[in-house]
Amino acid sequence: MEIVVLRLGHRLERDKRVTTHIGLVSRALGAQGLLLAAEDKGVERSITRVAKRWGGEFFVKTGVRWRDELRNWQKAGGKVCHLTMYGANLHEVIDEIREAAEDVRTPILVVVGAEKVPFEVYETADWNIAIGNQPHSEIAALAIFLDHLQRGQELTARFEHAELEIVPSRRGKEVVVKEEE
């Protein structure tokens, strides 16, 4: 399943940590990349550094033009899922989204906003999806959406070319530092 996250409304000083966490959650929970509709090389470097150390293929591209990304994504046959409090309940649409992503191998673009999202995004999205209809974190919404979309399978994924890997255990902390091959 191809999943890319588009972050809208990133305010350089205010949203640096939140946007970094959007990227980390995207990577850890199965997305292939993050498109950031603002120029922020610091966020890009931070997420890229994590991907290098912890493995997997994940890209970060900053300074994208979100209207062009939405248009090009749909022209290429992809579907756009916009996470918002004002959308259809996740449980009402998740099967439909999964079917599009799995059966047709349709790439999914997940739009995550920060400040007020332009109405054009609501109109353009194939699905406007609510993870509950109460104010909450966009990080939490993204994590829940990615988990439901992939039926939890992303939680057991192994990341290739990792320099570091956590060994699951009930007690204690064990991190394996892998030797270069």
Domain ranges in the chain are 3-177
Strands 164-166 and 175-177, how do they pair?
antiparallel
pLDDT, position 1? 87
The encoded tokens of residue 24 equal 């980390």
Domain 3-177 has CATH 3.40.1280.10: yes
CA dist 79 and 126 (Å) reads 6
Q: Identify the bridge partners of residue 41 per DSSP, sorted by sequence position.
A: none
pLDDT, position 132? 86
What is the residue-level pLDDT of the chain in tens, covering all 181 positions? 899 999 997 665 666 788 999 999 999 999 999 999 988 888 899 999 999 999 989 999 999 999 999 999 999 999 999 999 889 999 999 999 999 888 767 899 999 988 789 999 999 999 999 998 888 889 999 999 999 999 998 888 888 888 898 888 899 898 888 876 5
